Structure 1
Amino acid sequence: MGTDYVHGYTPAETRRLTDQAQTLADLLHGGTTYSPGSRVLEAGCGVGAQTVQLVTRSPGIDLVSVDISEESLARAKARVAAVAPDARVDFRHADLRELPDETFDHVFVCFVLEHLADPHAALVALRRLIKPGGTITAIEGDHQSAFFHPRSTAAQAVIDCLVDLQAEAGGDSLIGRRLQPLLKDAGYADVRAHPCTVYADETLPHLVDGFTRKTFIAMVESVRERALAAGMRTPAEWAQGIRDLEKSAESGGTFHYTFFKAVGGT
Structure 2
Amino acid sequence: MNMKTAYVHGYLPREARRLYDQADTLAPLLHAGTAYPAGSWVLEVGCGVGAQTVYLARNSPRARIVAVDHSEESLAQARAYLREQEPDADVTWRTADLLHLPFKEAEFDHIFACFVLEHLWEPGKALATLRRLLRPGGTLTVIEGDHGSAVFHPDSPHAHEVIGHQVRLQAAAGGNALLGRELQPLLSGAGFGNVVIRPRTVYADRTRPALVDGFTRNTFIAMVEAVRDDALGIGLTTAADWDRGITDLRRAAEDDGTFHYTFFKAVAVNPMS
TM-score range, shorter chain: over 0.9
Query: CA separation in 2, counterparts of 1:228 and 1:12?
Result: 20
Please name the residue that 1:10 is paired with. Answer: 12
RMSD over aligned Cα atoms: 0.7
Please name the residue that 1:168 is paired with. Answer: 172
Please name the residue that 1:93 is paired with. Answer: 95
Task: Identify which of 197, 212, 216 aligns with 2:216.
Answer: 212
The one-letter code matched in structure 2 to 1:64 is V
Deviation at 1:100, TM superposition (A): 2.2
Please name the residue that 1:254 is paired with. Answer: 258
Please name the residue that 1:59 is paired with. Answer: 61
Query: CA separation in 1, counterparts of 2:71 and 2:234?
Result: 25
Which consecutive aligned stretches of 4+ in structure 1 deviate over 2 angstroms post-superposition?
Answer: none
Please name the residue that 1:78 is paired with. Answer: 80
Deviation at 1:234, TM superposition (A): 1.1
Please name the residue that 1:141 is paired with. Answer: 145
Query: CA separation in 2, counterparts of 1:191 and 1:157?
Result: 33
Unaligned runs of 5+ in 1: none
Please name the residue that 1:241 is paired with. Answer: 245
SS in structure 1 opposite 2:52?
Answer: helix
Deviation at 1:265, TM superposition (A): 0.5
User: How many residue pairs were aligned?
Assistant: 266
Task: Identify which of 194, 197, 206 aligns with 1:193.
Answer: 197
Deviation at 1:170, TM superposition (A): 1.0
Instruction: Provide Cα deviations, 1:12-51, integer angstroms capped at 9, x if missing partner.
Output: 1111111110000010000010001110000100110000
% identical equivalent positions: 62
Query: CA separation in 1, counterparts of 2:193 and 2:59?
Result: 25
Please name the residue that 1:150 is paired with. Answer: 154
Unaligned runs of 5+ in 2: none
Task: Identify which of 105, 109, 114 aligns with 1:105.
Answer: 109
TM-score for both structures, normalised by structure 1? 0.99
Query: CA separation in 2, counterparts of 1:9 and 1:62?
Result: 28
Instruction: Provide Cα deviations, 1:97-126, integer angstroms capped at 9, x if missing partner.
Output: 211223100000000000000000000000
Query: CA separation in 2, counterparts of 1:6 and 1:76?
Result: 20
The one-letter code matched in structure 1 to 2:18 is R
Query: CA separation in 2, counterparts of 1:5 and 1:21?
Result: 18
SS in structure 2 opposite 1:219?
Answer: helix
TM-score for both structures, normalised by structure 2? 0.96
